Chain A
Amino acid sequence: MDSVLSFCCALLIAPLFPAVIQKVKAWFGGKQGPPLLINYYTLLKLLQKGSVYSTSTSFVFRLGPIISAATGLMLLLFFPFAGATPLFSFHGDVIILFYLMGLGRFFTILAALDTASPFEGMGAAREAFFSSLAEPTVFTILFLFFKISGSLSFAGFFSSPTPVALTGGYGAAVLLAAAALYIVMLTENSRVPVDDPATHLELTMIHEVMILDHSGPDLALIETGAWCKLLFYTSFLASIIWFPRFDSCLVNAVLFYGVVALIAVSIGVVESITARYKMNLVPKFIMNAFALVFFVIILTMEFAQ
């Protein structure tokens, strides 16, 4: 029961956090910003609309949004939000979930290429490149977490006798890994300084340009997938940073989503005080994350023996 509630709660609350980021950015700019519920309104608006399809597209263009949304939902099904047992979990689920995210990306790219638009091809190429650079970082982080917790599932990372936590025995190592994960989060969720979701020029976009031709409910599905993904990454970080251990689920959940909101605020701050990098600097930025976590791996080589 808890698991179902936790899943529904996560699904309902997911659209809130991108709005938090937007709000923080607006404050930094001295503006009032959109209401916190903006994404719910957007969702409702999109669901009421029809769609325009490009004449060059095929069924792949319509499949892309479906797969994006489905992978987003899969993430929520497997992640232990606020320490609640997730609906599904098994030893090795981290591998399949990151690969499912890869599948979502694969079809988003294909859908973008299906439009025959040079802009979308450009975005697709960048997405393929940057995410393939982020992949090794992710798997090195997973290896580290496996070494710490002895488990290969999200639930296991945080519920094992030696959980992955900043406050645990491996605090210093986890801190660096968390920093790397933060960079991966910025990359995978198309945030500044890798990608600017608020930019207005197609040539400089990555994710936004890939979905230029999607409209109506299709766009709503893509957005849902993106919100789920952001929630997943922020929750992953939140679980590492601070792990609530109260008896009451409600208190846990409130505190947990509080931390998630703080991370969203921090993304907003990062977006406000940095400009996006030039495209040729982005790979270096992503490789920094890899360098960090690889350094940790070297450090932990002789640990726990």
Chain B
Amino acid sequence: MDTIFVSIFIILAGGTAALFLSRRFILMQRVVIGTTALGCAAGLCYALTRLFGNTAVATATWAWLHIFELSFTVDSVSLFFLIPVFLIPPLVLVYSLDYLTEGKKNLRIAINYFLTTLLVVSMVMVVTAANMITFALAWEIMSIASFFLVIFDYQDKEKRKAGYLYLIFVQGGAMFLFAAFAIIYQHTGSFDFAAVSTMPDNQKLLVFILALIAFGSKAGLFPLHIWMSGSYSSAPGHLPALMSGVMSKMGIYGILRIYLLLDQPSPIFANIVLICGILTGLTGVVYALVRQNIKKLLAYSSMENIGIILIGLGIGMLGAGENNQAMAFFGFAGALLHVFNHSVFKSLLFMGAAAVEQQTGTNSIENLGGLLKKMPITGKTFLVGSTAISGLPPFAGFVSEFLIYYGAFQGVDTHRLSFILAIFAIISLALIGGLAAAVFTKVAGLAFLGAARTDKVEQAQEVGFSMKLVMILLAGACLFIGLVPAPFIRTAFAGIRDITFIAGYDSQAFLATATQLSQTTLLFVCIVLLVALLRQFLYLNKRIRQAGTWGCGFTKPTVRIQYTGASYADEMVGFFSWLTPVTRLYSGITRIFPRRATWHMQSEDVALMNYERVLVRPLYNLVYKLRWIQHGNIQLYIAYIIAAMIVLLVFVL
């Protein structure tokens, strides 16, 4: 355990040093990156060695404020979650080397670095917390730090608004978390996580639902997701990689942790999680489809992936509830592996989006195009990330989705509701996969391929070295995990070994399948190479010409006639209009020689619409009626305080 504290200390020390070094910008960046890399490397080594060691469990306790105990513990699940927590931040910071450059905002960038390290440390603490006090403390630090990261550009009203929305959701979520903890404390009389399982069974469901809302608001569960698109597109470009790639997984960790702590494999938990997963995944992918802003699109795609992870967890819980060990094993393992994989390719994609924004000043698909030729490394790595996140072989996403499918297929022997849910899980995974491919062909195909739509895009240049390096590393990781999945599958298996429901499951048979899976992907890559060679051979001594694209005989094409993101998604949006109502405003053509015509299309988020209608309006009306309480008369305010104290005294006496 000590290694973890040492690494926490190193990371925080670097972050604090940044505050004092803001005048010496380059030095500051190097110090922060160096210390974070060192601390994270130490932590990563610890997590991996313990994960594969004889026993994963370790504990440590500190007294805090004389009354409370800060206690920490690790088991295989938390060790697994530590891997992305320690792996992604150094990469993000290296990326920031060329992304955040010296200028007017030096101090603000220094504070940003400090908060980033604070975020990393708080995530480590969330994952290792062993009692409610520690967990709540870490959770709050994480939320506050990330809130300040989101409002980096606080002068911009839109970005500030996105930050406030985020704050409302994380703090609202925390409220539910405290409610859940309060119920637990009421029944067990202890803050210790170990005591949670002793609470009466009839209260466990309530605690689980409260915790699901709390953690779901962090992970971006439907309908608690509406803060995501705003805050991911407001934070400085490298941070969404950290927030979506790693921080949203803390929500997943919380859901899994509370489920394990409650220690009751009732299928009802599984049903809730699975249905939430399916809903979140589907709405996420449909909303991603209708966004034209790459960062917002990626934010919704995070939601989709959270859905996939929850489907995996749900399958695992269903297996635990049905006493179907194989199903539980592959469900949990697939979910964990997808947590890791998603942190890799989603970071990559957010970095690509930030690179595009840095070079072109826009993130709107409608204004980009042809970037692959201008920014070859960014383009190619983005293409790899797109393929990986669509769950296609031979890249990372496929491996974890394969595990989840494999688990869901084991549900073939279950009955009634479990059977129906298993088949729904498969159907929605397939549908989400198909639509995700549509989403990412849209963003990769329209932003990076084709022809540039504006002059600014035409003049875009490749980004700096450190950014390229990190993107290449992550893209390489996507390919490597896809081609050689066995070690990663093994790590996921090691990650779930402390889950009691699946203790003793023999995974050897599957590892043979994993080998064959890897051989198949390698075989495919070989065939691709062979066909490519054959193609080279076929083109020997052939006449190859360049010409314009076939335009149906149209002699004056412009780049604006290219298919746009909106038109690409149009038919699909029509099909899913019950999920995303679309408003179209068209000026129409009224004259024989038409003048300016306008066309505006906007797709709504049903969650956002209904919050407005169900929650915000009534609340606003209520508060408006109570305005007389706040009248500005200071004497009366003091009277309130005295009245409140008297009422409290009555309770105490």
Contact = CB atoms under 8 A, between A and B. Distances in A.
A301 B474 CA distance: 43
A217 B536 CA distance: 10
Interface stretch (A6-14, A117-125, A269-277): A117-125
Residue from B370, B429, B521, B551 whose CB has the most chain A CB atoms within 10 Å: B551
A103 B392 contact: yes
A100 B395 CA distance: 11
Given A55-B547, A113-B446, A217-B538, A146 B392 contact: no
B328 to A, nearest CB: 18
A73 B527 contact: yes
Interface in B413-466: 415-416, 419-420, 423, 426-431, 433-435, 437-438, 440-442, 444-446, 449-451
Given A50-B544, A90-B513, A113-B446, A213 B568 contact: no
Contact of B520 (A90, A131, A221): A90
B370 A56 contact: yes
Contacts of A124: 441, 445, 563, 568
Contact of A140 (B370, B423, B513, B571): B423
Interface residues of A, number: 81
A113 B441 contact: yes
A179 interface: no
Contacts of B524: 70-71, 74, 100
Interface string A37-71: 00000000001011111111010101001110111
A197 B539 CA distance: 27
B430 A136 contact: yes
A67 B535 CA distance: 11
Contact of A90 (B391, B516, B546, B575): B516
B528 A106 contact: no
A99 interface: yes
A209 to B, nearest CB: 10
Interface residues of B, number: 80
A126 B552 CA distance: 19
B426 A139 contact: yes
B532 A113 contact: no
17 contacts: A50-B545, A53-B546, A54-B547, A55-B547, A66-B531, A70-B528, A88-B520, A95-B402, A96-B517, A96-B521, A99-B391, A102-B390, A118-B562, A118-B563, A125-B570, A135-B433, A216-B538
Given A109-B445, A110-B449, A118-B562, 9 more contacts: A47-B538, A50-B542, A53-B547, A58-B373, A69-B531, A116-B450, A133-B434, A139-B426, A279-B571
Give me the 9 closest cross-chain CB pairs, A-B, nearest first.
Answer: A121-B563, A132-B434, A113-B445, A50-B543, A116-B450, A128-B438, A135-B434, A50-B542, A90-B516
Interface of B: 369-370, 372-373, 383, 387, 390-393, 398, 402, 405-406, 409, 412, 415-416, 419-420, 423, 426-431, 433-435, 437-438, 440-442, 444-446, 449-451, 513, 516-517, 519-521, 523-524, 527-528, 530-532, 535, 538-539, 542-552, 559, 561-563, 567-572, 574-575
